């Protein structure tokens, strides 16, 4: 498998970083090993400021995610005020989109964790509920539906 794969079911989207020993062996090592990984991987947790990297004087990460225009950027914590640091809100669709834009092909900044948490009904559950609701209205007559008020006969 080349690069990252995505699997989607219901409202869950999972991105998997998988090395292929033939085509891209070791391509994700920068996200797993050493101090370089600390400076690249941005873990997000709902309700917490987005800080990462080696520990700063306050014990939290030396880097932070801050707003820049309509998007986000990464800044050194000693260059920004603490109130500029974005606090992760997993219910905010706009923040989730902006976080997804921080990652690039070069893996300089790779966000991990739950970007967005949305409660939605899975498709198959919605279909079952729709069928049950139709059945509760009484027996359905397919022929009556097909030859309802909006049909006509062509003669000739």
Q: What is the pLDDT of residue 133?
A: 83
Give the residue extent of every domain in the chain: 40-113
Q: What is the pLDDT of residue 9?
A: 43
Q: 0.85 exceeded by the pTM?
A: no
Q: What is the pLDDT of residue 139?
A: 65
pLDDT block averages, 10 residues each, the chain of length 156: 41 73 83 82 94 88 92 93 95 93 83 88 89 74 75 79
Q: What is the pLDDT of residue 22?
A: 87
Reduce the secondary structure of 92-135 to three states and give it as a string.
CHHHHHHHHCCCCCCCCCEEEECCCCCCCCCHHHHHHHHHHHHH
């Amino acid at each position: 498998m080349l690069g990252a794969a995505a699997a989607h079911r219901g409202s869950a989207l999972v991105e998997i970083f998988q090395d292929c020993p033939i085509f891209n062996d070791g391509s994700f090592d920068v996200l797993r090993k050493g101090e370089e990984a600390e400076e690249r991987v941005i873990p997000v947790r709902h309700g917490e400021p987005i800080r990462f990297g080696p520990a700063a004087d306050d014990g939290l990460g030396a880097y932070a995610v801050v707003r820049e225009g309509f998007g986000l950027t990464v800044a050194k914590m000693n260059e920004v005020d603490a109130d500029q640091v974005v606090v992760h809100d997993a219910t905010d669709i706009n923040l989730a989109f902006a976080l997804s834009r921080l990652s690039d092909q070069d893996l300089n900044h790779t966000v991990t964790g739950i970007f967005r948490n949305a409660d939605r009904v899975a498709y198959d559950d919605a279909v079952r509920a729709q069928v049950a609701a139709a059945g509760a209205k009484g027996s359905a007559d397919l022929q009556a539906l097909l030859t309802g008020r909006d049909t006509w006969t062509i003669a000739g």
